[in-house]
C-alpha cells in the first residue's frame, strides 16, 4: 500500500491522529461488524413479516458477506489509486443508504438487493481502515491503535445479538427487525461527518485495478453461492445452470490472473502450494464458524422457543470466549507452534459440534459453547500466523487481502450450506451440527497439510 501522508506530517500531529483519526475509523469498523451479527438474530422476524422462504432468508446474510468479500481485494487497489479517504467516505455513504433501504424494504427482494449494496460499502471501507491507521497513526502508537481495532471488532460481534434482541423486544412486532438495520444510520452518519476531518493524503496514479478479474470473481462466486442458498426455491435446471456458469467463469478468472499485467492476486501467492493450502484452510474453517453462530441463534428462537432478546443474551458467552482464545493464542503458538494449535482447535470445534447433538438442555449446550468459542478464537489467530509466516514480502499485501476475502467467502458459503441443511431437514439442529462437525474435521485435515 502507498502511504497517504508523509511520515513528517504524521509525526507532527500525533494529537490529531489520536483524537480524530482513530475514533472515526473505529466507529466505521464497529458499524460493519455489528451489522453481521445483529442481522442474524432478526432473521426469524424478517421471514415472518416479509413472508420469505428459507432460501431468501439465507441470502439476507450470505449476500452481504459475498459482496463484502468480492469487494475487498479491488478496494485495496482503489484506495491506493484514488485515496483512502475518498474510498472510505464512498463506502460509508453506500452503507448508510443501503441500511436505510433495508429498514424500509417492503419486500424480500429489495431487502436482499440492499444487503448486497451494504456488502459493497463494507468492502470499500475495510481495507481503508488499516491503510489509514498505517499512514496516519504514529509508529509508537500503532500497536495501541491495532489493539483498539481488535477490541472494537470483538465488542461489535459480542453485543450484536444482544442489541438485536433488545431492539426486537422494544419495538412493535412488525417494526423490530427494521430497527436492527436502522440503528446503522446514525452510527454511519457519525462516521461520515468525521470522515471530513481525515487527511486527504496522496494518490498513486500508476496503480491499476484488474476490473475484469473483479467482475469474473464476483460473478463466478455469486453463481456458486446463489443455488446453495436458495436450495429448493430454484428449479433443478436453474441450479445446474448456475453451477455451470460458476465453473466456467472461475476458470476464466484463473486464466486472466496468469495473463493480467497487474492481477488481483500476486503470482507468488498462486504459485506457493503452502499459501494455497493455507487460504483453503481459512476458507474451510469459516464455512463452519459464522454458520455455527447463525444456527445457534435460529435454534434458540425457532426450536427452543426463546425470544430474540433471550437468544441474544444466551449467545453472549460464546463470542466472549472467542475473544479470550484469540488473546492467548500467540503465547500458545510460541510454545506449541501454530500448525499444531490450528489442528487441535479444529478438532475441538468438531468434537463440540458432535457433542451438542446429544444434549437436549439449552443450558448444557451453552456451557459447551464457552470452550468451543475459545477454540474458534485460538484457530483464527493461529491460522493467520501459519499462512502469512512464509509469504514473500512482495506478495504480503495480496496475501493479507486474500485472507479476509477467504474468511468472508467461507462464511457466505457456510451460511448457505448450513441453512440449507437446517431447513431441508425440517429445522433440524442435529443435522446442521453434523454439517458443522464435518467441516471442522475437514479443516483439521487441511491444517495437517500446511508446512512452514
Highest average pLDDT, of 73-77, 158-162, 191-195, 387-391, comes from 191-195
- pLDDT tens digits for range 70-94: 888 788 778 877 888 889 999 999 9
CATH superfamily of 266-452: MFS general substrate transporter like domains (1.20.1250.20)
What is the pLDDT confidence band of residue 201, given thresholds at 50, 70 and 90? low
CA 214, CA 204: separation in Å to the nearest integer? Answer: 20
Neighbours of 48 (CB within 10 A): 12
Residues 6+ apart with CB under 8 A from 330: 381, 385
Residue 27 has a pLDDT of 87
The residue ranking higher by pLDDT, 443 or 135, is 443
Q: Is 391 left (phi over 0), alpha (psi -120 to 50) or beta?
A: beta
Among 240, 294, 297, smallest CA distance to 419 is for: 294
3-state secondary structure of 408: helix
> CATH for 1-209?
1.20.1250.20
Q: What is the DSSP string of 134-186?
A: HHHS-GGGHHHHHHHHHHHHHHHHHHHHHHHHHHHHHS-TTTHHHHHHHTHHH
Residue 439 has a pLDDT of 95
pLDDT at 120 over 90: yes
Q: Tell me the mean pLDDT in the region 135-159.
A: 72
Residue 232 has a pLDDT of 67
- pLDDT tens digits for range 1-39: 434 444 434 444 445 544 678 888 888 888 888 887 788
- Weakest-pLDDT range from 163-167, 197-201, 215-219, 358-362: 358-362
Look up the pTM and report it. Answer: 0.77
Distances (CA, A) of 311 to 33, 78, 141, 197: 19, 40, 38, 39
What is the pLDDT confidence band of residue 203, given thresholds at 50, 70 and 90? low
pLDDT at 157 over 80: no
- pLDDT tens digits for range 211-260: 888 889 888 888 887 887 776 677 778 888 998 999 999 899 888 888 87
Distances (CA, A) of 251 to 160, 237, 247, 408: 38, 21, 6, 21
Within 13 Å and on the Cβ side, how many CA atoms surround 313? 10
Residue 441 has a pLDDT of 95
Alpha helices in 4-141 (DSSP H): 7-12, 14-16, 22-41, 43-50, 54-82, 84-104, 108-136
Among 80, 110, 146, 91, smallest CA distance to 397 is for: 80
CA 430 to chain centroid:
25
Residue 181 has a pLDDT of 92
Distances (CA, A) of 79 to 68, 95, 169, 346, 405: 16, 17, 40, 35, 17
- pLDDT tens digits for range 373-399: 888 888 877 877 777 666 665 555 566
CA 288 to chain centroid:
12
Residue 325 has a pLDDT of 84
Q: Is 105 left (phi over 0), alpha (psi -120 to 50) or beta?
A: beta
Amino acid at each position: 500500500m502507498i502511504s497517504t501522508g508523509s511520515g513528517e506530517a504524521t509525526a507532527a500531529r500525533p494529537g490529531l491522529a489520536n483524537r480524530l483519526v482513530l475514533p472515526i475509523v473505529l466507529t466505521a469498523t464497529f458499524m460493519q461488524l455489528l451489522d453481521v451479527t445483529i442481522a442474524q438474530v432478526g432473521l426469524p422476524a424478517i421471514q415472518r413479516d416479509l413472508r420469505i422462504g428459507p432460501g431468501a432468508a439465507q441470502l439476507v446474510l450470505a449476500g452481504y458477506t459475498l459482496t463484502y468479500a468480492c469487494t475487498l481485494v479491488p478496494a485495496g487497489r482503489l484506495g491506493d489509486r484514488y485515496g483512502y479517504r475518498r474510498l472510505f467516505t464512498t463506502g460509508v455513504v453506500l452503507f448508510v443508504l443501503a441500511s436505510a433501504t433495508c429498514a424500509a424494504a417492503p419486500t424480500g427482494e429489495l431487502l436482499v438487493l440492499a444487503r448486497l449494496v451494504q456488502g459493497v460499502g463494507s468492502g470499500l471501507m475495510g481495507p481503508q481502515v488499516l491503510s489509514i491507521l498505517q499512514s496516519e497513526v504514529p509508529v509508537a502508537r500503532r500497536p495501541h491503535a491495532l489493539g483498539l481495532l481488535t477490541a472494537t471488532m470483538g465488542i461489535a460481534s459480542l453485543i450484536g445479538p444482544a442489541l438485536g434482541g433488545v431492539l426486537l423486544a422494544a419495538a412493535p412486532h412488525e417494526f423490530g427487525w427494521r430497527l436492527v438495520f436502522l440503528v446503522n444510520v446514525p452510527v454511519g452518519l457519525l462516521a461520515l461527518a468525521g470522515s471530513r476531518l481525515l487527511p486527504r493524503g496522496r494518490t498513486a496514479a500508476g496503480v491499476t485495478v484488474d476490473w475484469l478479474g473483479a467482475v469474473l470473481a464476483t460473478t463466478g462466486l455469486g453463481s456458486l453461492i446463489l443455488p446453495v442458498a436458495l436450495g429448493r426455491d430454484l428449479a433443478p435446471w436453474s441450479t445446474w445452470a448456475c453451477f455451470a456458469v460458476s465453473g466456467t467463469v472461475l476458470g476464466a478468472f484463473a486464466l486472466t490472473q496468469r495473463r493480467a499485467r497487474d492481477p488481483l492476486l500476486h503470482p507468488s501467492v498462486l504459485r506457493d502450494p503452502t499459501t494455497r493450502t493455507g487460504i483453503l484452510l481459512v476458507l474451510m474453517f469459516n464455512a463452519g464458524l459464522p454458520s455455527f453462530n447463525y444456527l445457534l441463534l435460529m435454534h434458540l428462537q425457532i426450536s427452543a422457543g426463546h425470544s430474540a432478546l433471550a437468544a441474544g443474551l444466551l449467545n453472549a458467552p460464546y463470542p466472549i470466549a472467542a475473544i479470550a482464545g484469540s488473546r492467548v493464542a500467540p503465547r500458545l503458538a510460541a510454545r506449541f507452534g501454530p500448525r499444531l494449535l490450528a489442528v487441535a482447535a479444529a478438532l475441538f470445534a468438531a468434537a463440540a459440534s458432535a457433542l451438542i447433538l446429544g444434549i437436549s438442555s439449552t443450558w448444557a449446550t451453552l456451557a459447551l459453547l464457552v470452550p468451543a468459542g475459545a477454540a474458534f478464537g485460538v484457530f483464527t489467530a493461529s491460522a493467520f500466523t501459519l499462512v502469512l509466516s512464509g509469504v514473500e514480502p512482495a506478495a504480503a499485501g495480496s496475501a493479507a487481502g486474500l485472507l479476509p476475502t477467504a474468511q468472508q467467502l467461507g462464511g457466505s458459503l457456510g451460511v448457505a450450506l448450513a441453512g440449507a441443511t437446517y431447513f431441508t431437514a425440517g429445522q433440524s439442529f442435529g443435522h446442521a451440527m453434523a454439517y458443522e462437525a464435518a467441516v471442522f474435521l475437514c479443516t483439521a485435515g487441511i491444517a495437517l497439510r500446511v508446512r512452514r
